[in-house]
Structure 1
């Protein structure tokens, strides 16, 4: 199944660890967890757009915060990255299926087998900004048939969740990384785990 991204005057990108985006594009993962970046414009995370490009962030990735099967990926990704890079390559696009708010460790623990991060990483995300819930963004992820390469801008740098891409983009073709059936199965598994935590 092939879809198209319509032309956008001010397209939005969501910044996330490059290793996380890699896992999303491989169909291993269908959600991200977010409370906001260090340099957010607001004091808490908010969903700025229901669909967006996925922009890899290479800073602050840590191998020890990934489960053992996923360790080693960061080192291989960093070989092709430099702080002085002149271009940013975007290969993924996502639609938000659901924004689930997590407020307690029991709920977070219930989904521990469904993601790539260690318990330490997940718990630190939950505890940071204690008065704010942890957003679990369930994503339907697509791969661009042709990567989008855009000139690097200063606004793309730093620990922030959202970036407006500084140019008008034409329509682009994309393909879902999971079939409808595969996504439905993973989504139901997630919801079943969350139901278990609420009982």
Structure 2
């Protein structure tokens, strides 16, 4: 489920590592934007394992977390996972997990971090998809924005890095920890583990490129 759109020409071919990055951002966007379909769970269950360099701890952790997520998808009951998604992110009253930059950076929703995201998305030629009810600082939307920046091929590391650091890096670790610690999290505990491992790899890789 795409949460941002862009009016772009045909993108150039991506390097394999960038295609993988875009794919992982897309997986996270889909898992967080809406209750996952049976088809998405089946695709995760059938996904190939990651090869990791044991000399890079973040890469090894990502490979292990990916294997755990794929195994969890294979064992999951679709209806139970969809109920879990609703409980975690749309529960009565205040949900256990509020995956918004504004919340983690200010303690409130719809605050200045959202305005900054909107300004930066507009400058990059990205916009919220018509019909999407979530604001642009939702984690799913930010993941989809990163996916779009990578997939475009024209928005290189020089544009990806500041977007990641400005809108994700400062709060994403706390959000992943809350997802993993939520009392009702089962499948989404594995999602939180994978997200934390993936963002750690991103932070390391993008910091080396600056």
TM-score by shorter chain over 0.5: no
Structure number with higher helix proportion: 2
The TM-score, its normalising length taken from structure 1, stands at 0.27
More contact order relative to length (CA 8 Å, sep ≥ 6):
1
Structure number with higher strand proportion: 1
